[in-house]
Amino acid sequence: MQGKIVVVGASAGGCRVALAAQAAGHDVTLVDEHPQAMKDMSFDAPWFYGAGLPSALLNDNSIAQAVLEGSPELIECLESGVDVRVSTVLWGAFRNGPNSVNVGRPRVGLVNRDGNEILEHDTLVIATGVRDFVPSFKGWELPGVFGGKAGIAMLDLYQVFEGRKAVVLGTSELALRFIRSALARGTEIVAVIEAGQEVYAGPEAAAWLAERGIPVHLRHVVHEALGKTEVSGAICVSLDGDATFAVDCDSIAVAIATLPNIELPAAMGCKMHYDPGLASWVPEVDARGETSLESVYWLRDDASSEALLASIKGETNADRFPPHAAQTQPTLDYIKTWISALHESGGDDVNICQCETVTRGEFCGIAPPSYLGQGLRHAQSPIVHSDAARAPRINQDFMKRMTRVSMGHCQGKRCRDEASIALALRFGVDPDAIRPASYRFPLRPIDLALIADDDESEDIRLHWQMWPYETRQD
Amino acid sequence: MLVLDAGATAYEASSRATGYLSLRGETPAESPLAQEAEKLWDGLDEELGYPTEWTQKGRIWAAFNERELDELKQLYGTFRKTNVPFEFLSGDDLREMMPCLSESCLGGIWTHRSGHANPQRTSQAFAWAFNDRGGEIREYTPVLEILTEGGKAKGVRTLQGELHSDKLALCAAAHNTLLLEPLGIHFPLAPVRLEALVTTPMPPLFEQAFIGNGLSIRQTKRGNLHMNGGPYEWVDLEIGKEAAKPNTQIVRNILRRAIETMPVLKGAQFLRSWAGIVDMAPDQMTTIHKFDSPEGLVTAACSGHGFGMAPAVGIAVSELLLKGETRMPIDQLSLDRFNKVSTDWRAKRRWEAGQYNT
């Protein structure tokens, strides 16, 4: 690892890397988008806050304080002289490579509430953690529906959670963490809904839930979130025989799974492979976490920073850190169970894309967006026509461009994973045979006024191509 | 009829294109063909059976400083060599039809004709219509070599083997140059990387195809502002390999220019950026050429404005291939006009891979 280092993501792992690099004499900048402005939270990235953001989040000072107090590692970074940038989005990363050889030194684009900056560096460490996976169901747009990570953040980090009666979807470790935090704050868990046959987090977790008298409904999914302006209840349906029951609640915590934040390495062009354990495409990395791009590291999770830390400290035997063990229960299978159950019981007439208001049926049928007022003359299939071995079976970008699912202001963060699995299930295609929708810069939507350059050099201005003189003839 | 694509349908230039039909006032030799394309565009949705988002609301070339205004006035002389009704309007006239336009716009060229469409949707509409008529598109099947025998087209070689046909249409943008070179044919095209972006949707602002301040900006049917522009980065392509299309921090400059052009865009958000590869001929015009040798081979490339021209170019290429002649006006667009272009023309133009800002 060399030179100026940018670490993005102030998780425990990211902070530890920043501290070690600082101690080893590097100039280190640590970037984290939290605490986010309320407007940015509404994009549900990385955590799915949903539409019901408590107004207490508007108190920037107390929120910033809560974030700092919640992370001793971050305070240590500040005290150690690491250049810490919180509430700052790393929106793009640019470096020389094929067909772009004029960037110069690698650089990242940073933006916060005051403006933007291009920061040159030598090494980039991506420790961007995970985001909520929240699949669609009828009423999932209502305030009161949120993801597990967002729920835990509102409960423990920001301490602004207002829910009194919560329904929890999923029985993963994430669900259990949410339930523990919610109970500690006096929120009642009125039902835990599980699409699978058993509690996903295992028998101990099942026993723990039983001891507390929390009703767990196996082989059930939520059919509909009730409420006009916010969640007032939920209708749940059995997957064996269609029996339904209703519960009163003000919150629906969707705590099925989290997925890694891969938009930065993907948009940078790091070589990726599909990992069913994580139900996601992830960068290919070596033992220290270096991606296919030189001096760009990706930390899968806090634990996987050990080899990189050792190498920063000058230890050379990175091989002693075993490669990441495959998860015994692939997240992909669990997610598939949920999506399959939700789609079968909820049907086609549920919006899969909130931003563009497109239903599951419209998406899988490649329907043009309704504002065009035109259909397809003949039904069409998304299956790629090719006999090439390397060809994907489906291009998610094609589905995106035709239906606009994942083209909206959340940049596909809400729906792209469900959309991809839905295609896999409906068309009988393996998820890794679907070319994933491209990730693009900026990694978050940014106000034009904040990002627009105000230092266009004379050189750029002089050589800017002016149509219709498409190219200067000199 | 079999169409081979190196990648997926509508993935390369279609994904970069702004989506304009230009009537080619700046290169009058192409204008008759562009006007044939315009007639076809008007019936395209119905003919194909799939939406293209064709919007026939005119086109504006605007000047934002005195130098640009002088250049545009000079260029207007060239525009008037066509039979397209172009007019030179004041800044106030332009603002009247496009109220979001900045006060700094001094005037420009206007025509009520021409328009824009959604490139990806349109290319896919052609592909689906082709399938509906029994055509086959084979994707991810790059052509590695053009095969000829005894002065006649014989077929192509792909990774899956040879495919034989005595009629070949080569429409592979700047790959044309690479695939024709082994036949001793020089098709001078230079590939160049360009960047594009969209904002979040805005309320309806304008429907014209707008060009000015170094940007092409259109508002999509959905409301997003779609724009591209900026310095060109010249690149090289490889046969059988998908070209990398990275973005750079230049997107910030594009956005600043967008705000300068339409101040209301300050209220929009930067949503998505991408880049694409365009093929540029020395005179930046369309080429459509039927070879006498090898017989049965036709090639075409359109210097970055092929999207709008495509309906007419498609007819010209298919007629040349099947009938040996075409009703489309392409007399001045053959490859013969480059007979005197030397093989090192890119170096002389400073259009070689790696060069920037030229």
> Which tens digit of pLDDT belongs to each residue from A412-425?
999 999 999 999 99
| Nearest residue to A47 (alpha-carbon basis) of A457, A438, A462, A413 | A413
Q: Model confidence over B287-341: pLDDT tens digits?
A: 999 999 999 999 999 999 999 999 999 999 999 999 999 999 999 999 999 999 9
Average pLDDT over residues A195-222: 97
Q: Model confidence over B176-225: pLDDT tens digits?
A: 999 999 999 999 999 999 999 999 999 999 999 999 999 999 999 999 99
- What is the separation, in whole angstroms, between the first and last Cα of chain A? 43
- The CA distances from residue A13 to A78, A158, A227, A315, B283, in Å, are 15, 21, 40, 18, 55
Average pLDDT over residues A159-180: 96
Query: Cα distance from B331 to chain A (closest Cα, Å)?
Result: 23
Query: Cα distance from B327 to chain A (closest Cα, Å)?
Result: 28
Position with higher pLDDT, A251 vs A320: A251
The predicted pLDDT at position A305 comes to 86
Q: Model confidence over A280-291: pLDDT tens digits?
A: 999 999 989 999
Range B1-48+116-358: architecture per CATH = 3-Layer(bba) Sandwich (3.50)
Average pLDDT over residues A301-315: 85
Residues of A in contact with B139 (CB under 8 A): 384-386, 388, 391
The C-alpha atoms of residue A207 and residue B62 are separated, in whole angstroms, by 71
Contact A44, A410 (CB under 8 A): yes
Is A119 exposed, middle or buried (CB count within 10 Å of its CB: 0-12, 13-18, 19+)?
Answer: middle
Residues of B in contact with A465 (CB under 8 A): 214, 229-232
The predicted pLDDT at position A432 comes to 95
The amino acid that residue B193 corresponds to is R
Residues of A in contact with B140 (CB under 8 A): 384, 386, 388, 390-392
The predicted pLDDT at position A200 comes to 97
Q: Which residue of A has its CA nearest to B23?
A: A468
Q: Is B126 on the interface with A (CB under 8 A)?
A: no
Residues of A in contact with B132 (CB under 8 A): 377-378
Residues of B in contact with A437 (CB under 8 A): none
The amino acid that residue A292 corresponds to is S
The predicted pLDDT at position A473 comes to 44
Query: Is residue A466 pLDDT above 90, yes or no?
Result: no
Query: Cα distance from A435 to chain B (closest Cα, Å)?
Result: 11
Could you count the other beta carbons within 10 Å of the beta carbon of residue A268? 25
The predicted pLDDT at position A62 comes to 85
Query: Cα distance from A98 to chain B (closest Cα, Å)?
Result: 6
The predicted pLDDT at position B46 comes to 97
Q: Is B246 on the interface with A (CB under 8 A)?
A: yes
Strands A89-94 and A83-85, sheet pairing: unpaired
Give percent of chain A above pLDDT 90: 80
The predicted pLDDT at position B218 comes to 97
Give percent of chain B above pLDDT 90: 96
The predicted pLDDT at position B312 comes to 98
Q: Specify the length of chain A in residues.
A: 474
The predicted pLDDT at position A471 comes to 43
The predicted pLDDT at position A474 comes to 39
A222-231, A385-394, A451-460, B2-11: which has the minimum mean pLDDT? A451-460
Instruction: Name the band, by pLDDT with cuts 50, 70 and 90, for residue A469.
Output: low
**Token pair for residue B315?**
């007819």
Q: Is B65 on the interface with A (CB under 8 A)?
A: no
The predicted pLDDT at position A60 comes to 82
Query: Is residue A352 pLDDT above 60, yes or no?
Result: yes
Q: Model confidence over B113-145: pLDDT tens digits?
A: 999 999 999 999 999 999 999 999 999 999 999
Could you count the other beta carbons within 10 Å of the beta carbon of residue B81? 12
Residues whose CB is less than 8 angstroms from the CB of residue B29 and which lie 6 or more positions away in sequence, other chains included: B285, B332, B333
Asked if the Cβ–Cβ distance from A467 to B358 is below 8 Å, we say no
Q: Domains, chain A, ranges and CATH?
A: 5-131+259-320 (3.50.50.60), 136-255 (3.50.50.60), 347-443 (1.10.10)
Q: Model confidence over A103-145: pLDDT tens digits?
A: 999 999 999 999 999 999 999 999 999 999 999 999 999 999 9
Asked if the Cβ–Cβ distance from A398 to B9 is below 8 Å, we say yes
With b for 16 or more beta-carbon neighbours within 10 A and e for fewer, the B178-213 pattern comes to bbbeebebbbbbbbbbbbbbbbbbbeebbbbbbbbb
Query: Is residue A320 pLDDT above 70, yes or no?
Result: no
Q: Is B61 on the interface with A (CB under 8 A)?
A: yes
Helix (H) or strand (E) holding B237: none
Query: Is residue A324 pLDDT above 50, yes or no?
Result: yes
Instruction: Name the band, by pLDDT with cuts 50, 70 and 90, for residue A302.
Output: confident
Averaged pLDDT score across all residues of chain B: 96
Could you count the other beta carbons within 10 Å of the beta carbon of residue B39? 10
Query: Is residue A330 pLDDT above 80, yes or no?
Result: yes
With b for 16 or more beta-carbon neighbours within 10 A and e for fewer, the A177-195 pattern comes to bbbebbeeeebebbbbbbb
Average pLDDT over residues B149-156: 98
Query: Cα distance from B150 to chain A (closest Cα, Å)?
Result: 30
ipTM for the whole predicted complex goes beyond 0.90: yes
Average pLDDT over residues A387-393: 93
Average pLDDT over residues A351-365: 97
Q: Is B68 on the interface with A (CB under 8 A)?
A: yes
Q: Is B219 on the interface with A (CB under 8 A)?
A: no
**Token pair for residue A176?**
């259990």
The predicted pLDDT at position A303 comes to 76
**Token pair for residue B118?**
């959604």
- The CA distances from residue B49 to B15, B132, B221, in Å, are 21, 10, 18
Averaged pLDDT score across all residues of chain A: 93
